[in-house]
Amino acid sequence: GESVGLHLPTLSVQEGDNSIINCAYSNSASDYFIWYKQESGKGPQFIIDIRSNMDKRQGQRVTVLLNKTVKHLSLQIAATQPGDSAVYFCAEPSLIFGKGTTLSVSS
């Protein structure tokens, strides 16, 4: 069946490092993906999205890469800050969420 998963449940980085969070999907027909950030005790919030006609999309300090050949996408956070500590989900296409990666940033 369809699934969206993240490779690692946790990721620990130092402040200022670049972070890379990965996500694999199984439905080759998926054409739209969203990354969400969920801070402790709050609901998920939109970070960035990408459509399948793109390989890369950049936002403020975040970049999403999509590799349709291997059905993989990644979220890159530049110069990670303590405020980036949260759980990150990829979602496809709004109904199916991955299990999330917990990003911990130490200063």
Residues lying near another protein in the complex (CB under 8 A) are found at 9, 31-32, 34, 36, 41-46, 49, 89, 91, 93-100
Name the minimum Å distance from CB 5 to another protein.
9
- The rounded distance, in Å, linking the Cα atoms of 19 and 12 is 9
- The rounded distance, in Å, linking the Cα atoms of 6 and 25 is 9
Name the minimum Å distance from CB 42 to another protein.
6
Neighbours of 54 (CB within 10 A): 13
**Size of the chain in residues:** 107
Residue 97 or 104 having the CB closest to another protein: 97
Residue 80 or 100 having the CB closest to another protein: 100
